[in-house]
A and B are shown apart, each in its own frame.
Chain A
Amino acid sequence: MKARVWLRALAIVIVCLVIAMPVVWMIAAAFKTNVQVTDPSVGLWFTPTLENFRAVLADGEIVRSLGNSALVGVVSTVLSAVIAVPAAWAVGRFRMHSTGSLVLVARIVPAISLLVPWYYLFAQLGLVGSYTVLVLSHMFVSVPLILWIMIGFFEGLPVELEEAARTDGLSAFGAFLRIALPLAAPGTATASVLAFIFSWNNFMFALILSDEDTKTMPVTLFNFISYASTDWGGLMAAATLMTVPVLVAAVAGQKYLVAGLTAGATKG
């Protein structure tokens, strides 16, 4: 029996190492000199340097891209929540699942089959490269995501509370605003954090719909590979700057984010 417990612990440790090591390697490389990065015999024991981060943060383009990513992420997430949370309540409370699943079609459709007409139409409107277009395109991911998570959340709230509020004279909308919405705050927070992360990570939309001034961090990082592939330290520092905020969110909100990510899947 004792042996089996140790065997299981060992297996868990191995799984964790395989999953975590590449990312640990990336973060370590961000603190290495370029000579150390390209020398595989330099493992995890070396004198760390902040030089890569200094260079990356002195580069106006990268700082601006990080700002663009944050801006597009926040605005698209807030607008998506404003649209999707009331819709999720309506779907959950009035059992309108066919309407709800219409929105979830977005989960199946390949994003690129929308990117073509978006580009075509927005180019004719002269909007390609604007923040408006980037925000709208990122909402394509976050509206269905927030809707998906929040339908389940509202269905989990006891309807009796809202009914009681309505016997006390509140309208249905009042019950939503004063009762359901505050109770759904934790779910909304979880869904919004996930939506922000997916916007932050999104590559394809900004690759086409952004310009020099509005491009987001993944695009800047991608452009870096082609002409700065010798600067592995700088690349890893930039990649680390992109990834670490997400990792912090993942660790801090681990329980809620897992619940959000797995929402819907277990219900079939």
Chain B
Amino acid sequence: MATMTFERSNRRLRWLMLAPALGFVGLMIIFPLLFTLNLSLTDAFGAVNAGNSYHGVRNYADALADGRRFWPAVWRTVFFTIGAVVIETVLGLAIAMLLRRPFRGMRIVRSILMVPLLATPVAIGILWLLILDPTNGIANHLLGGLGIAPQEFLGSVSQSLPVLMLIDVWQWTPMMALLLLAGLSTLPEEPEEAARVDGATAWQRFRFVVLPMLMTTLMTALVLRAVDALKTFDILYATKGPGGGSDFEVETLNVYAYGLTFDYQEYGLASAVLVLFTLFIIGVVVLLRRRSGKASA
């Protein structure tokens, strides 16, 4: 009897403890998402208190038929994400293996690894504008020393997106390395020792012993990074401004949706784009999760 009241009071307590967080999520996340969904079916435009009426899925049809801004933004988002995440994963894994065995100065190295991912993205964007300035920047100065002709970098339509991808690589490879390093530290040593005794080379031990054991961490880190890369905004917007530059050259889905809403006040159409964008991200997560499930099975 006593235990039962105890359990019952616990049940009430646990919901009491969760209530504020769930309330916040409901009010600030679930309700707004439903609001966006609703708005995407209307012709909302202009002032926020202007009346608007439902017109079905026309916004979705308009977005999906838009080959000038929407689809290029989709492909840029995909290109940016795949490019950046693949490079970050490979480099991050290499750095994690490099730092795996303890050494003096590990503390300093780990502090340095945290710098790019904790520094303010807008400050990072401005910093790279200075470094990559076509005439006054250090980047062209260094390339000149190697005998390479000056580049336009962010001033060029064709170079902007790849250059921003490389900035993303600079900023997020350390995070990948830290995550994988944490994953490596949890692995048991015996399987590797056994492989060494059996005469496996360093590469074979990595490929057939360490990598399979690290797969869960690797896939989790990859999903986390892919989700964030899909949503990249700050540095793109800080360096290239509204629309992602004169020719929309770095306009990803995030930048496009932002412009639709706050530059053009196309609330209805923007909401439809955001619903598609959100579904797209959820799709990517589900897909990667399922693949990782297969990999570890």
Q: Using CB atoms and an 8 Å cutoff, list the residues of chain A in contact with chain B.
A: 8-9, 11-12, 15-16, 18-20, 22-23, 25-26, 29, 37-41, 82-84, 86-87, 89-91, 93-94, 96, 99, 102-103, 105-121, 123-124, 136-137, 139-140, 143, 147, 171-173, 176, 197, 200-201, 203-204, 208, 217-218, 221-222, 225-226, 232, 235-236, 239-240, 242-243, 246-247, 249-251, 254-255, 257-259, 261-262, 265-266, 268
Contacts and interface: CB of A to CB of B under 8 A. Distances in A.
Interface in B95-149: 95, 98-99, 103, 105, 107-124, 126-131, 133, 136-138, 140-141
Chain B interface helix/strand/loop/mixed = helix
B116 A23 contact: yes
B32 A200 contact: no
Given A114-B33, A116-B39, A208-B262, A232 B118 contact: no
B115 A12 contact: no
Contacts of A176: 17
Interface in B129-173: 129-131, 133, 136-138, 140-141, 170
Contacts of A103: 21-22, 25
Given A19-B112, A109-B29, 18 more contacts: A9-B103, A23-B115, A29-B130, A37-B136, A38-B133, A87-B21, A113-B257, A113-B274, A143-B24, A197-B118, A203-B120, A217-B120, A221-B126, A239-B120, A242-B123, A255-B107, A255-B110, A265-B217
Contacts of B170: 18-19, 22
A217 B129 CA distance: 18
Contact of A203 (B36, B174, B234, B277): B234
A117 B119 CA distance: 29
B175 interface: yes
Chain A interface helix/strand/loop/mixed = helix
Contact of B122 (A16, A171, A221, A258): A221
Contact of A121 (B32, B220, B271): B32
Interface of B: 6, 9-10, 13-15, 17-18, 20-22, 24-25, 28-29, 31-33, 35-36, 39, 48-49, 95, 98-99, 103, 105, 107-124, 126-131, 133, 136-138, 140-141, 170, 174-175, 178-179, 181-183, 186, 216-217, 220-221, 224, 227, 230-231, 233-234, 237-238, 241, 254, 257-258, 261-262, 267, 270-271, 274-275, 277-278, 281-282, 285
B24 A139 contact: yes
B137 A40 contact: yes
A15 B17 contact: no
A243 B238 contact: no
Contacts of B32: 113-114, 116-118, 121
A159 B105 CA distance: 36
Nearest to B140: A40
